[in-house]
């Protein structure tokens, strides 16, 4: 058994990020400024997006996307219960109604057939979540959106850098929201990015900084003016140059990061495939997953212990794990407001009850992976 605890997903940082952050601190410009603007442009180039806006979180990106699209009270937004609460919370924040539909059992992504069935005259948008880094069936969902004139928003918190049918996630003109939280494939500690059509990005940018028509960089640089106007009541969602400094260096490492993640995934596959106790994550032929997660699913009756006991047994062997996700419809707020029951979305509920996310980050050594596998075999 390991002597030291193996964390589930610590940040992958090096001297390059430290030096870039120090450079920002010494520059005298630590809030939104030149490095944030550079990060936006380099990120847009990387995912082949028409425009990008750096923000304080993926939640901020999703929220501003809905606000910029004028979605509000009386509107409905279709999304998945198999996500972090933020995806659904932003729908509540704009006063719209979240309409949940079930998932596909192989990828655990939202089911396009059920999306189509859920559309009403009040539906204004669909938010898809690329679960674990594996892209949704975007063509099928876009067909539904086009037919009913709906906005397609992508929650890409897990999916940098993922591809769907050879296209980078984020390369379209629709809003796509990314997370740079500490555990993500690219981290700025906290932070996010919104990509999409430049006109939408410009509008979202106004909402993201108090509704001002000039950001701090434009006002406080040598060529700027102190005068500004408030054109709408906005939010405080801007990214700082300290965060962007980390992002600039992380972006340079994305090829290396994805390569190592895929190597670890292959090691897990080879070692765990012979064990009949688990279903392993899939990658469809027309997709390239970002492999943010490696979620295994315990087969019913395969073990004499529960999923929760399995997690505790892993912890006892100094292996950190997690669960992605507790379905949103099972939380108290949504149960009480909408009357949801566990079996309203049977696939999401069933799969969530047997999920365990294994450690997956580029800092894992082959020996670390062997320790994870050895712990699993011992428990089995």
Query: Which residues are CB-neighbours of 129 under 8 A, at least 6 positions away?
Result: 79, 80, 82, 83, 87, 109, 110, 136, 155, 157, 158
The strand order across the sheet containing 163-164 reads 167-168, 163-164, 287-288
Collapsed DSSP state (helix, strand, coil) of residue 24: helix
Q: Give me the catalytic one of 97, 163, 165, 184.
A: 184
184 is catalytic: yes
Query: Which residues are CB-neighbours of 182 under 8 A, at least 6 positions away?
Result: 10, 11, 189, 190
Residue whose structure tokens are 């940018």: 205
C-alpha distance from residue 279 to each of 237, 269, 353, 356 (Å): 39, 10, 13, 11
The pairing of beta strand 151-155 with beta strand 176-179: parallel
- In the numeric block, which tokens belong to residue 301? 């009756």
HSE toward the beta carbon, residue 193, CA cutoff 13 A? 34
Active site amino acids: 184
């Amino acid at each position: 058994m390991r002597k030291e605890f193996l964390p589930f997903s610590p940040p992958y940082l090096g001297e390059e990020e430290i030096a870039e952050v120090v450079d920002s601190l010494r520059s005298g410009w630590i809030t939104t400024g030149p490095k944030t603007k550079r990060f936006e442009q380099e990120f847009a180039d990387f995912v082949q997006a028409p425009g990008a806006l750096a923000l304080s979180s993926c939640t901020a990106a999703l929220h501003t996307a809905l606000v910029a699209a004028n979605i509000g009270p009386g509107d409905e937004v279709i999304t998945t219960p198999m996500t972090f609460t933020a995806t659904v919370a932003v729908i509540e924040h704009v006063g719209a109604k979240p309409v949940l539909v079930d998932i596909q059992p192989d990828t655990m992504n939202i089911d396009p057939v059920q999306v189509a069935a859920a559309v009403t005259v009040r539906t204004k948008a669909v938010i898809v979540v690329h679960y674990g880094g594996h892209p949704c069936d975007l063509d099928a969902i876009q067909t539904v959106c086009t037919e009913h004139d709906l906005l397609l928003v992508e929650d890409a918190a897990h999916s940098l850098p993922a591809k769907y049918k050879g296209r980078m996630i984020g390369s379209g003109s629709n809003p796509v929201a990314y997370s740079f939280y500490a555990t993500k494939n690219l981290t700025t500690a906290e932070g996010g990015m919104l990509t999409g059509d430049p006109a939408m990005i410009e509008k979202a940018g106004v909402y993201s900084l108090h509704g001002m028509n000039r950001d701090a960089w434009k006002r406080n640089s040598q060529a700027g003016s102190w005068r500004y106007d408030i054109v709408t009541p906005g939010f405080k969602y801007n990214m700082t140059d300290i965060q962007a400094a980390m992002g600039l260096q992380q972006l340079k490492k994305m090829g290396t990061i994805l390569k190592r993640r895929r190597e670890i995934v292959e090691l897990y596959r080879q070692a765990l495939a012979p064990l009949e106790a688990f279903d392993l994550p899939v990658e469809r032929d027309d997709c390239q997953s970002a492999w943010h997660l490696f979620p295994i699913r315990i087969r019913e009756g395969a073990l004499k212990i529960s999923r929760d006991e399995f997690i505790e047994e892993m912890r006892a062997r100094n292996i950190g794990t997690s669960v992605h996700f507790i379905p949103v419809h099972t939380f108290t707020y949504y149960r009480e407001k909408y009357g949801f029951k566990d079996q309203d979305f049977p696939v999401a509920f069933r799969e969530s009850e047997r999920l365990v996310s294994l450690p997956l980050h580029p800092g894992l050594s082959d020996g670390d992976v062997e320790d994870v596998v050895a712990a699993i075999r011992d428990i089995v």
